């Protein structure tokens, strides 16, 4: 684990969604919600950072009443609070074409992210599974490469039920187009994500923080996946979830409970909110002795103590 000075003057919190804020049922617990709202009440800004679309986060944004910009699609889209695009980065079309062709020719399923739209050859499984994570249903467009010239592409997602095959594909694609793209994985389906070169959540967060005028040392970030590791290293206080991989935990300063046990609330309470001073119990005031008035003093009879004769004196009188 990286040793960095613990910064407790937290002015902004960056929170990942799947595997972090959301539990395994893709829900935000009441305890997490309450902790975030308490942070906002204490003038700490909260920013969502996810590999998914902004559409997937709209319910959470509304529930929390967030008025801050957010980082979406692995940092490739930064959106204002009202959903308008603040900044974005798109893929080189030639690189996207190479990735799509190579993946499809080797039996992989491929899906494209274009803003808040997901594009696929068809809308059946495995693509339809993405809706479980709050994403919009993929739009069936037929041939993906035929849509590249007329469509902005932010990232390419390659799906497989075999992590081993995806690992091999990552190596192969890196040999072919590694100079033009970056790779990552996320807690959504079993997939490999191909991004514009240098694209990442960390870079998206860095750009937004600069716009907002917030120093990195005053930021806490919470995450669980490979796509969060650089972000956790970058900020003043990186917090890994208990369900994170060992590599992600090693990138963080602190580790909290998992996403099913309110780890986000734990992080916010421990490291961001001001510490509440314990309340001292009120001590009863001492009762002053009652004053004696002059009249009471006169009226009170004097008390005389008579000493009983000692045994020796009594014996002497008998003699």
Domains of the chain, start order: 12-89+200-271 (3.40.50.1000), 93-196 (3.30.1240.10)
E strands along the chain, which residues? Answer: 12-15, 45-48, 70-72, 77-79, 85-88, 109-114, 117-120, 139-140, 155-159, 181-184, 191-196, 219-223, 237-240, 254-255
DSSP 18: B
pLDDT of residue 311: 43
pLDDT digits (tens, 9 = 90+) for 60-70: 999 999 999 99
Q: What is the chain's percent helix, strand, coil content, to nearest 5? A: 35, 20, 45
Rounded to whole angstroms, how far apart are CA atoms 199 and 73? 10
- Among candidates 251, 252, 217, 259, which has minimal Cα distance to 236? 217
pLDDT digits (tens, 9 = 90+) for 128-177: 889 999 999 999 999 999 999 999 999 999 999 899 999 999 999 999 99
pLDDT of residue 177: 95
Lowest model confidence (mean pLDDT) among 47-51, 127-131, 211-215, 223-227 = 127-131
Q: Phi and psi of 237, rounded to 5°?
A: -140, 105
Rounded to whole angstroms, how far apart are CA atoms 79 and 170? 29
Is the confidence at residue 277, as pLDDT, over 70? no
- Among candidates 232, 247, 228, which has minimal Cα distance to 16? 228
């Amino acid at each position: 684990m990286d040793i960095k000075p613990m910064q407790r003057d937290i002015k902004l919190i960056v929170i990942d969604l799947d595997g972090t804020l959301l539990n395994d049922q893709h829900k935000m617990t009441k305890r997490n919600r309450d902790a975030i709202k308490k942070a906002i009440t204490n003038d700490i800004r909260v920013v969502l950072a996810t590999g998914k679309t902004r559409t997937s986060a709209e319910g959470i944004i509304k529930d929390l009443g967030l008025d801050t910009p957010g980082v979406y699609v692995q940092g490739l889209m930064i959106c204002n609070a009202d959903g308008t695009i603040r900044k974005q980065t798109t893929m080189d079309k030639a690189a996207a074409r190479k990735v799509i062709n190579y993946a499809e020719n080797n039996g992989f399923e491929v899906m494209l992210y274009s803003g808040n739209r997901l594009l696929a050859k068809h809308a059946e499984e495995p693509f339809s599974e993405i809706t479980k994570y709050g994403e919009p249903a993929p739009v069936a467009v037929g041939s993906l490469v035929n849509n590249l010239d007329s469509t902005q592409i932010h990232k390419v997602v390659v799906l497989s039920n075999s992590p081993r095959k995806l690992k091999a594909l990552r190596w192969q694609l890196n040999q072919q187009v590694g100079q033009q793209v970056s790779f990552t994985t996320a807690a959504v389906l079993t997939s490999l994500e191909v991004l514009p070169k240098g694209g990442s959540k960390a870079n998206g967060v860095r750009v937004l923080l600069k716009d907002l005028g917030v120093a990195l040392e005053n930021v806490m970030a919470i995450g669980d996946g490979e796509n969060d590791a650089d972000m956790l290293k970058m900020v003043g206080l990186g917090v890994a979830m208990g369900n994170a991989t060992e590599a992600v935990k090693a990138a963080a300063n602190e580790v909290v409970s998992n996403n099913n046990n309110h780890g986000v609330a734990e992080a916010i309470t421990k490291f961001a909110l001001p510490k509440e001073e314990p309340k001292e119990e009120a001590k009863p005031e001492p009762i002053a002795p009652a004053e004696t008035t002059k009249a009471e003093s006169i009226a009170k009879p004097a008390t005389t103590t008579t000493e009983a004769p000692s045994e020796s004196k009594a014996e002497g009188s008998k003699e």
